[in-house]
Structures are given as C-alpha cells and as structure tokens.
Amino acid sequence: MSKFKKKKKGVPAVNTSALPDIVFMLLFFFMVTTTMRETELKIDSPRLPSATEIKKLEHKSLVSTIYVGKAKDTKYGTGYNRIQLNDKIATADDVPAFILRAREDVAEKEIPYMTTSIKADRESNVGTLTDIRLKLRDVNALKLSLSTTKANE
C-alpha cells in the first residue's frame, strides 16, 4: 500500500544555511581585532633580545616605533645599524623630524605620554642606540621602551 511506503533511506542533508552566519561572526571578530601593519619593513625583521623585567606598552596610538637592524637592500651595507623611520631607511638625524611629525597626530595634552619604542636587533650596537637617545632627548621625547620578547625564567 502506498500509504505505508517505506521511507527513503540515506542520511538527510545537514542544514548548512546557518554556516554563513557563523563565518560572518568570525569574520567580524577578526575585522575588529585586526591592526594592519602600517609600515613595511625595510630591514630584516629584528631579532629582539629577550628579558624578563618587561612592561607592556599601552595606548598603541601613542607609540611611535623606530626599527634598527640590517637593511634588506644591500646597498645600505650589511651592518646591523640601519635605522628605519616610517617606511624608509634614515639616519639618527632624522629622528627629531619623525617625532615631531608623530606629535601632530595626537592631542596636545597627550604628548607627554607618548612613548618611543625601539625595536633593535640584538646584534646592533649600543652606539646607534645612543645616537637615537640623544636625538630623542633633543626633542624632549623622554619615554622610551626597548622592545624585547619575554624570556622564560
């Protein structure tokens, strides 16, 4: 009898109509948390030294980063003392201009809280660091962070 026909066999298809919703949710999460790399590295990614007594940098908008390391382009030599500001190789003499430029973007009352983060390769020289520090002191950018990775005790 047709009324009692045997049911069709086979696994029913899984309902995937909610899949886009799930994926969108993930998508929005990553869209919100993402921060684009603002600068392209012209130097080899610095191998940061590691330390234990470190502090996290808060307020990313108040941090300007100076990279020190080996230039990717060999015309700048193979030493580990090239300085990168924004997206070009520069010298310590360009540091004040870089800091002053960064100050234009923040409110005046926040300028004293601005921090300069130096990401230097562990093989670069202290001399380079000193040059940068002297220039930073000239423009009164006194908060400094020597970027390191967290070492295991």
Partner 1 sequence: MAKRDLPEINAGSMADIAFLLLIFFLVTTTMDVDSGISKKLSEKPPPDYDPPKIKEKNIFEVNINRNNELLVEGERMELRNLKEAAIKFIDNGGGLGNSSEDGTPGKPCDYCKGEKSPTSSDHPSKAVISVQSDRLTEYGTYVVVQDELLKAYTELRNRLSKERYGMLYTELEEQYKDNRKNEELKKKVEDIRNAYPQIISDAEPTSAN
CA-to-CA distance for 117 and 122, rounded, in angstroms? 15
Asked whether position 86 contacts partner 1 by CB under 8 A, the answer is no
The position carrying tokens 């696994």 is 11
CB of 3 to partner 1, least distance (A): 33
Nearest CB to partner 1, comparing residues 6 and 56: 56
Beta bridge partners of 89: 84
CA-to-CA distance for 139 and 151, rounded, in angstroms? 32
Binder among 2, 15, 35, 74 for partner 1 (CB under 8 A): 35
Asked whether position 114 contacts partner 1 by CB under 8 A, the answer is no
CB of 105 to partner 1, least distance (A): 18
Size of the chain in residues: 153
Picking from 31, 46, 39, 49, the residue whose alpha carbon sits closest to that of residue 80 is: 46
User: Would you tell me which residues interact with partner 1 (CB under 8 A)?
Assistant: 16, 19-20, 23-24, 26-27, 30-31, 33-37, 49, 51-57, 60, 63, 65, 68, 115, 117-118, 120-130, 133, 136-138, 140-151
